[in-house]
Chains A and B, each alone.
Chain A
Amino acid sequence: MHHKTIAELATGLERKEFSSLELTRACLERITRLDTRLNCFVTVTEETALAQAQAADERIARGAASALTGVPIAQKDIFCTKGVRTSCGSRMLDNFISPYDASVVERFNAAGAVMLGKLNMDEFAMGSSNETSFYGPVKNPWNTSTVPGGSSGGSAASIAARLTPGATGTDTGGSIRQPAAFCGITGIKPTYGRVSRWGMIAFASSLDQAGPMARTAEDCAIMLQAMAGFDERDSTCVDRPVPDYRAALGNSLEGLRIGLPTEFFGEGLDPAIASLIQDAVDEYKRLGATVKEISLPNMHLSAPAYYVVAPAECSSNLARFDGVRFGHRCENPADLADLYTRSRGEGFGAEVKRRILIGTYALSAGYYDAYYLKAQKIRRLISEDFRRAFEEVDVIMGPTAPSVAFEFGAKSADPIAMYLSDIYTIAVNLAGLPGMSVPVGFSNGLPVGMQIIGSYFSEDRLLNVAHRYQQATDWHTRAPAGIAD
């Protein structure tokens, strides 16, 4: 049962081949048995999951099921879940029980999905390897001595290990796409504003976006259908109709114009990955697409701009964690300054502190123009590059990450090297565009992901493009041996 996709499970539930309760129990059993090795879950919500499954079975019996009713999923621990610890991978929120549900959580609940638990992640979504989590790193099911990617590492690894058929992720600079690539699954970061950020703990507000992660594009379509849509509680959420994503999946790719940016295939890219991307592009040609080389001339500025904007926003967003109202508070504070410095000093890990410091510096009087303002100008240049590119092509393709999953500790001592693992993904966040990662093969036994980038609100197109590829190939069906056989 654990090899079934969300689409297959929904059919099975509808045909009463199995109940949601049986399905949920099977997932919980796998989590209990396997997650001690992988560390995907911070919290398993067994009791509520079983209750939700029961309710879902009743709903199915009533004939009132939606595509997700009774389907188990898991939430990245960045989404607030009422009555359940919402840690954000941090000691700071280890004791935080959210009094409310995030918009995304509400929507899955309304659809009748079953929440298995809360997934591990880099602390406050700051990291590319899941090594910054207070709860310890998640292991990559394909090779447990390598990282699953980050920050949605728990989401990606739990799906690859078939502990859950789908999970939510968030992507600020590649946090859905890069772990999806490292773990051989499919994930989409929607256009900024497509999914409400209400209840999603903020890292960098102008870049953060929630999206689905699953094994197939079709499953992502089913999940995104539930997640997307206007929410008046998020002023940056866009009031725009949500297309029927599943209906668009089968569209022909005849005449699809693919752009390959020169800048994505230069120095620093593992040649094995470059070759697999080329194979995938060839497959698209067979499906009727045309391919063109394009240029995104300001691409090289995306990392410097990102590492000003994201830390600047984070330094302000994380100021609320002060030990006063919720979260970690130091023992016996002597005075106010002591309360602040020790609560924050103890509650935050090294990477979070580093980014708060960088961001505070970038916003300081006398530096604001040189850093923050300049970075915002670069953002506009990068958006402009993409806008021009999309006049010529329908989608842009390239590697999701410059390498496959690396060993634990390989980059954790060198923040710059770690930051560069997001080199192909961050420009998409700076521009607010939708981006996807789909599995396109293996290098040294580890999955390789290809990134597909589209114009604003073209999620239906991206899912369609990914789905047709997955109809023609089987990379997305591969499962890590020993864990998910």
Chain B
Amino acid sequence: MEWETVIGLEIHAQLATRSKIFSGAPTAYGAEPNTQACAVDLGLPGVLPVLNREAVRMAVKFGLAIGAEISPVSVFARKNYFYPDLPKGYQISQYDLPVVARGQLGINVDGKELTIGVTRAHLEEDAGKSLHEDFHGYSGIDLNRAGTPLLEIVSEPDLRSAKEAVAYMKKLHALVRYLEICDGNMQEGSFRCDANVSIRPKGQEKFGTRAEIKNLNSFRFVEKAINYEIERQIEILESGGQVIQETRLYDSVKDETRSMRSKEEANDYRYFPDPDLLPLEISNGFIEEVKATLPELPDAKRDRFKDQYGLSDYDAEVLTATREVADYFESVVKDSGCDPKLCANWVMGELAAALNKAGLEIEQSPVKPDRLAGLILRISDKTISGNTAKPVFASMWESNDDADTIIEKQDLKQITDTGAIEAIIDEIIAANPEQLAQYRSGKDKLFGFFVGQAMKATQGKANPAQLNELLKQKLQ
């Protein structure tokens, strides 16, 4: 039987506010345990939550960016369950009235444009962390993270493969960073994902029974976990079994999903409106105010890159994948004044390879846009050839020198003086009479031999176009 996969993602994006969603404690990551938790975060008797306006602004910003409805009235609800890192015994979240509803996100998979529905996005507080090591049989609780604002973004079950799921997640990841509402740091848990996965016979309308996979904190794990889960479900159904509705945990070490709890064991969260918080009312004025702060969004930027710089779909897509890459590229074009395609090739080629090798993000690159622009300018004005530029770039990576200094120091300036190149060619022809004879008798391949000899003699500095031209003349 042919199976169709149905996937919906719930993504938790940690909002980049300075203070927590319901208290004034700071949200910075990595502090000593329990040093960034105030009385409210600790859930002390008598404390009360006060909503962080900035978190609302960010949620609205996100809603506007995905063309969603911003609810004029939304409600905070309590999700009740006991866990040691949940200080109040309930999480303040939004339930039946979320702040953002019915948006959509376009993705491109294998050249196909797909529109993925976003059911809702709601504000909630994060829990703390349980630490199970070094406590002599006890568990430690760190409440620094408790109360950190999260935007939970829930997709429609519109995704049909792990590949689509990853594309959607990447798109969302880029978007929240474009909007500067989330730092997107997946290692630190700022952007994490749960996946609802089910399969059904192709053509069937009714959804199959789904499993929810938790703990997916990288794009790679999302892909692997979903693919594992699809295989598992197919195996069950094809051997006559039934998939049970449950929560499963992805184990990245063993590359498998394991049952965490079944539907029967699931908590009854006893949601009810939080009486400590009034309904959240968002005025049109506030929405307009936020709208005015929206940056150019990834899709618009991609289209502009194609128009303005004459880039291909692929190049425009890659260069707008993150705001940082796009900004870097545009700086290089502006600073060098050179052909955008040449700039694009360098940003996507040499620079991307070097960053990848060093494990750096583009904003951490030791070669800043102005220095790369300086190099590209020298390629463009033929001071050096593209091949020579590669070692120059390598030297720039290792030092703080600009391209001109390196070209000067290493004497890499291209030889463009016709007389000088002719003299070298004459010498080579004179020294290789045998090859000359063979070439003239029709062995065209030997042209490359003469180019190689000439480059060797000039340490690669001869202008390649000129050299080719002059060689052709002389060899006739």
Contacts and interface: CB of A to CB of B under 8 A. Distances in A.
Interface of A: 79-80, 86, 88, 93, 96, 98-100, 102, 197-202, 204-206, 232-236, 312-313, 315-316, 318-322, 324-327, 336, 340, 360, 363-365, 368, 372
A412 B84 CA distance: 35
A336 B276 contact: no
Given A199-B47, A319-B82, 10 more contacts: A86-B45, A102-B46, A202-B46, A235-B277, A236-B276, A316-B90, A322-B82, A325-B43, A327-B45, A372-B272
A205 B44 contact: no
Interface residues of B, number: 28
Nearest to A360: B270
B270 to A, nearest CB: 4
Given A100-B39, A340-B82, A319 B90 contact: yes
Contacts of A327: 45
Contact of B45 (A88, A315, A340, A368): A88
Contacts of B44: 80, 98-100, 325-326
Contacts of A364: 268, 270
A322 B80 CA distance: 13
Contact of A232 (B45, B50, B82, B90): B50
A27 B33 CA distance: 45
Interface of B: 39, 42-51, 78, 80, 82, 84, 87-90, 141, 268, 270-272, 275-278
A320 B87 contact: yes
B48 A235 contact: yes
A202 B88 CA distance: 12
Contacts of B47: 198-199
Contacts of A100: 39, 44
B87 A313 contact: no
A321 B43 CA distance: 9
Nearest to B51: A235
Nearest to A124: B45
Contacts of A79: 46
A316 B270 contact: yes
Contact of A363 (B39, B82, B270): B270
Given A235-B276, A325-B87, A98 B45 contact: yes
B451 to A, nearest CB: 75
**Chain A binding surface, main DSSP class:** loop
6 contacts: A96-B45, A99-B39, A201-B46, A316-B90, A316-B272, A363-B272
Contact of A234 (B39, B45, B48, B82): B48
B277 A324 contact: no
B45 A93 contact: yes
Given A197-B48, A198-B48, A368 B90 contact: no
A324 B277 CA distance: 25
B160 to A, nearest CB: 31
Given A236-B278, A312-B272, A80 B82 contact: no
Given A96-B45, A316-B270, A206 B39 contact: no
A365 B268 contact: yes
B275 A233 contact: no
A318 B87 CA distance: 11
- Most A CB contacts (10 A, CB to CB) among B42, B82, B271 go to B82
- Most B CB contacts (10 A, CB to CB) among A86, A93, A318, A324 go to A324
A202 B48 CA distance: 9
A198 B22 CA distance: 14
A168 B475 CA distance: 108
A72 to B, nearest CB: 23
| The 3 A-B residue pairs with the shortest CB-CB distance in the complex, in nearest-first order | A319-B89, A206-B275, A363-B270
B396 to A, nearest CB: 54
Contacts of B271: 363, 368
- Most A CB contacts (10 A, CB to CB) among B51, B268, B275 go to B275
B95 to A, nearest CB: 11
A80 B80 contact: no
Contacts of B50: 232-235
Contacts of B87: 320, 324-325
A199 B44 CA distance: 9
Nearest to A197: B48
Nearest to A86: B45
B143 to A, nearest CB: 8
Given A319-B89, A324-B141, A199 B46 contact: yes
A210 to B, nearest CB: 11
A120 B268 CA distance: 36
A236 B87 CA distance: 22
Contacts of A368: 270-272
A340 to B, nearest CB: 6
Contacts of A204: 275
Contacts of A372: 272
Nearest to B143: A325
A197 to B, nearest CB: 6
A200 B46 contact: yes
Nearest to B50: A235
Nearest to A234: B48
Contacts of B42: 325-326
Contact of A320 (B89, B272, B276): B89
A316 B277 contact: no
- Most A CB contacts (10 A, CB to CB) among B45, B87, B90, B271 go to B45
Nearest to A340: B82
B121 to A, nearest CB: 22
Contacts of A325: 42-44, 87, 141
B456 to A, nearest CB: 74
A360 B82 CA distance: 13
Contacts of A315: 80, 270
Given A205-B275, A325-B42, A316 B80 contact: yes
- Most A CB contacts (10 A, CB to CB) among B48, B268, B276 go to B48
B315 to A, nearest CB: 50
Contacts of A322: 82, 84, 89
A409 B323 CA distance: 72
B148 to A, nearest CB: 18
Contacts of A234: 48, 50
Contacts of B51: 235
A320 B49 contact: no
A93 B43 CA distance: 14
